[in-house]
Amino acid sequence: MIYFDNSATTKPYNEVLDSFVTVSSKYFGNPSSLHSMGGQAEKLLSQAREQVAKLLSVRPSEIYFTSGGTESNNIAIKGAALLNRSRGRHLITSSVEHASVMAAMEQLEQVGFEITYLPVDEYGRVSVDDVKNAIRPDTTVISIMQVNNEVGTIQPIKEIGDLLKKYPSILFHVDTVQGIGKVPMNLYENRVDLCSLSAHKFHGLKGTGALFIREGARLAPLFSGGNQERQMRSGTENVAGAVSMAKALRMTMDNSKAGINNMREIQTLLRGELSSFEGVQIHTPINGSAPHIFNFSLNGLKAEVFIHALEQDGIFVSTTSACSSKKKTSSKTLLAMGVPETIADSAFRISLSFANTKEEALMVIAAMKKAANQLRKVMN
């Protein structure tokens, strides 16, 4: 099997699975309980928070554990908008955000907020000037992803953060779900107030994630209950999930430098080989893209049919993001980049992990050539 769909989810590290099982079986007490088992669980939760904070170079008090990227995005955007609605009801985002950001914005529109959806250029990148021009006196939140989950474009987070230093009342949210461990980012230097991450994108477990909330930033909690996570996210904490996520993040960061170089070399190989394919159009920009995502179209071929053809050879790639692939609609990201719908409908995404190899890439390229030739013969 060759797994090239790591932006959808990654295989958990064995050590991560072991840590989850150990904590779940031996330290299963409720962190809010007063007895010693509760105290053990609370200590493990605090240690996990400290580890994640250290790896992100922030304070432990700024890390809040969640169920993943979708929840983190919703808490950040809705929580910031609702608490600050007396100051203004205008938010800014891009037209190529993840579905969880777009849906949150759409829900806010339904209750009286106004959203500006910024366009992107042919590389899928937002213009800092467009961000500046969109800011109004009643703007309270700006949400821009670090790395696009479909084409891998890196957004100008630092430049936007520099711009927002002149607007201290605007909260800056960054979805770094696809960037963590692959594209460096300093949250303090980039003036980021809120940042979402999800463990299963860096070899942790599904259902675990975190939200960075800069000290001083205030949000309205979305959940009511026992006031866990310092009143921000009520509900009994997933201690085993938090511990295993901290381990996954540490292992990813430890291997980051070599892993990034390896993925960049594989991406360069894929670009060189696939550019010679008949009818190929590459959407991932050469410059300013993440090392693990490579998006291209094979004109004239139906993406779904091609995906299943590769699967017969034990090769797993994807079309759009996993959250949107079953809807069978054209990629909103590619359409926003100006890609014609007919070409967008034949787009594929290869997404790599540190463990993938050039040998695997060459096997995938050969299988793609074979499948494309066979499908074109059938179509003709």
pLDDT-derived band at 367 (thresholds 50, 70, 90) equals very high
Mean of the pLDDT values across residues 187-201? 98
* Res 261: pLDDT: 97
* Res 135: pLDDT: 98
Q: Could you give the residue ranges of the DSSP H alpha helices within the chain?
A: 14-26, 36-56, 69-83, 99-110, 128-134, 157-164, 239-254, 256-274, 303-311, 332-336, 341-344, 358-379
* Res 302: pLDDT: 81
220-260: per-residue pLDDT in tens? 988 878 788 777 787 878 999 999 999 999 999 999 999 99
Domain 14-251 has CATH 3.40.640.10: yes
Whether the Cβ atoms of residue 331 and residue 320 lie closer than 8 Å to each other: yes
CATH H superfamily, domain 2-8+256-379 = Aspartate Aminotransferase, domain 1 (3.90.1150.10)
| 28-41 as b/e: b if 16+ CB within 10 A | ebbbeeeeeeeebb
| Residue appearing with tokens 């711009």 | 163
CA angle 5, 330, 134 (to 5 degrees): 100
Distances in Å between the Cα of 100 and the Cα atoms of 68, 103, 156, 357 are: 11, 5, 21, 32
- Supply 220's token pair: 């309205």
DSSP structure class, residue 321: -
pLDDT at 325 over 70: no
* Res 288: pLDDT: 96
Mean of the pLDDT values across residues 167-176? 98
pLDDT-derived band at 143 (thresholds 50, 70, 90) equals very high
- Supply 45's token pair: 């939760």
6-49: per-residue pLDDT in tens? 999 999 999 999 999 999 999 898 887 789 878 899 999 999 99
* Res 321: pLDDT: 52
DSSP annotation string for 245-256:
HHHHHHHHHHTH
* Res 76: pLDDT: 98
Q: Which of 128, 323, 355, 362 is catalytic?
A: 323
Nearest in space to 251 (alpha carbons), one of 294, 204, 287 = 204
pLDDT-derived band at 327 (thresholds 50, 70, 90) equals low
Q: Judge whether 323 counts as a catalytic residue.
A: yes
What is the rounded CA–CA span in Å between residue 310 and residue 317?
Answer: 8
pLDDT above 70 covers a percentage of the chain that reads 97
Same CATH fold assignment for domains 2-8+256-379 and 14-251: no
* Res 206: pLDDT: 97
| Residue type at position 374 | Q
342-351: per-residue pLDDT in tens? 999 999 999 9
DSSP annotation string for 291-317:
TTEEEEEETTS-HHHHHHHHHTTTEE-
Which are the contacts of 174, defined by CB distance < 8 A and separation ≥ 6? 143, 144, 145, 146, 157, 185, 190, 192, 194, 195, 196
What is the rounded CA–CA span in Å between residue 245 and residue 202?
Answer: 9
* Res 362: pLDDT: 96
pLDDT above 90 covers a percentage of the chain that reads 80
DSSP structure class, residue 11: P
Domain range summary for the chain, segments of one domain joined by +: 2-8+256-379, 14-251
249-280: per-residue pLDDT in tens? 999 999 999 999 999 999 999 999 998 888 89
Whether the pTM exceeds 0.85: the reply is yes
* Res 304: pLDDT: 84
Question: Which has the higher per-residue pLDDT, 283 or 30?
Answer: 283
pLDDT at 322 over 70: no
